[in-house]
Amino acid sequence: MSSPGGNATQQDGGPSTGTRSGDGTEPSQGDGVGLAEGIDHQVAMVMDLNKCIGCQTCTIACKTLWTDSGGRDYMYWNNVETQPGEGYPRNWAEGGGGFTSAEQAADQSHGNYRAGQLPSEEDYGRAWEFNHAELMYDGSDAPLRPQGERPEWGPNWDEDQGAGEYPNSYYFYLPRICNHCTHPSCAEACPRKAIYKRAEDGIVLVDQERCRGYRYCVEGCPYDKVYYNVLRKRSEKCIFCYPRIEGAGPSEGTTGLVEGDAIPPACATECPPQLRMVGYLDDEDGPIYKLVEEYGVALQLHPEFQTMPNVYYVPPFAPPQLSESGETVDVDRIPRSFLVELFGEGVHEALDTIEREREAVQRGKESELMDLLTTKNPARQYRLEVFNQ
Partner 1 sequence: MTDAGRLAASGRVLLAAALIAVAAFVPTLVGARAANEIPTLSASQEQARALSQPTAAAWNDAPPVSVPLSSAPSTVPNANDTSIDVVNVQAARSDTELFVRLSWADGTRDPNAAALPNGTPQVDTFGDAAAVQLPTNASAQPGIAMGSPASTVNVWWWNRLVGSQEVLAGGPGTVTRFPNDTVSSNATYRDGRWFVVFERNLSIRGENRTALDANHDLNVAFAVWNGSNMERSGRKSVSEWHYFPFGPGPQGPPYETALWIIAGVAIVVVVSVTVEAVRRGG
CA atoms 273, 353, 30, 312: torsion sign: negative
- Tell me: does residue 30 bind partner 1 (CB under 8 A): no
Task: Pick the piece of the chain touching partner 1 (CB under 8 A) from 57-65, 224-232, 327-335, 366-374.
Answer: 224-232
DSSP codes, 230-281: TTTTEEEE--TTHHHHTT-S--TTSTT--TT-----HHHHT-TT--EEEEET
Task: Pick the piece of the chain touching partner 1 (CB under 8 A) from 25-33, 37-45, 211-219, 312-320.
Answer: 211-219
Selected binder of partner 1 within 53, 102, 115, 331 (CB under 8 A): 115
Task: Pick the piece of the chain touching partner 1 (CB under 8 A) from 46-54, 115-123, 237-245, 347-355.
Answer: 115-123
- Tell me: does residue 227 bind partner 1 (CB under 8 A): yes
Q: Comparing C-alpha atoms, which of 169, 153, 207, 128 is closest to residue 318? A: 169
Least separation, in Å, of the C-beta of 146 and partner 1?
A: 15
List phi, psi (to 5°) of 218.
-65, -40
Least separation, in Å, of the C-beta of 111 and partner 1?
A: 5
Of 218 and 239, nearer to partner 1 (C-beta) is: 218
CB 2 within 8 A of CB 9: yes
- Tell me: does residue 192 bind partner 1 (CB under 8 A): yes
- Tell me: does residue 191 bind partner 1 (CB under 8 A): yes
CB 282 within 8 A of CB 29: yes
CB 75 within 8 A of CB 67: yes
- Tell me: does residue 120 bind partner 1 (CB under 8 A): yes
What is the DSSP-derived secondary structure letter of residue 10? Answer: -
Q: What is the 3-state secondary structure (H, E, C) of 139-202?
A: CCCCCCCECCCCCCCCCCCCCCCCECCCCCCECEEEEECCCCCCCCHHHHHCCCCCEEECCCCC
- Tell me: does residue 144 bind partner 1 (CB under 8 A): no
Of 23 and 121, nearer to partner 1 (C-beta) is: 121
Least separation, in Å, of the C-beta of 195 and partner 1?
A: 12
Least separation, in Å, of the C-beta of 224 and partner 1?
A: 11
What is the DSSP-derived secondary structure letter of residue 344? Answer: -
Task: Pick the piece of the chain touching partner 1 (CB under 8 A) from 56-64, 177-185, 230-238, 259-267.
Answer: 230-238
- Tell me: does residue 124 bind partner 1 (CB under 8 A): yes
Name the residue type at position 254: T
- Tell me: does residue 223 bind partner 1 (CB under 8 A): no
Least separation, in Å, of the C-beta of 121 and partner 1?
A: 5
- Tell me: does residue 356 bind partner 1 (CB under 8 A): no
Measured distance CA(389)–CA(386) in Å, rounded: 8
- Tell me: does residue 193 bind partner 1 (CB under 8 A): yes
Of 68 and 352, nearer to partner 1 (C-beta) is: 68
CB 183 within 8 A of CB 191: no
Of 74 and 343, nearer to partner 1 (C-beta) is: 74
Determine the distance from the C-alpha atom of residue 250 to the mean position of all C-alpha atoms in its chain, rounded to a whole number. Answer: 21
Name the site residues for partner 1 (rule: CB under 8 A).
Answer: 74, 111, 115, 118-121, 124, 191-193, 212, 214-216, 218-219, 227-228, 230-231, 233
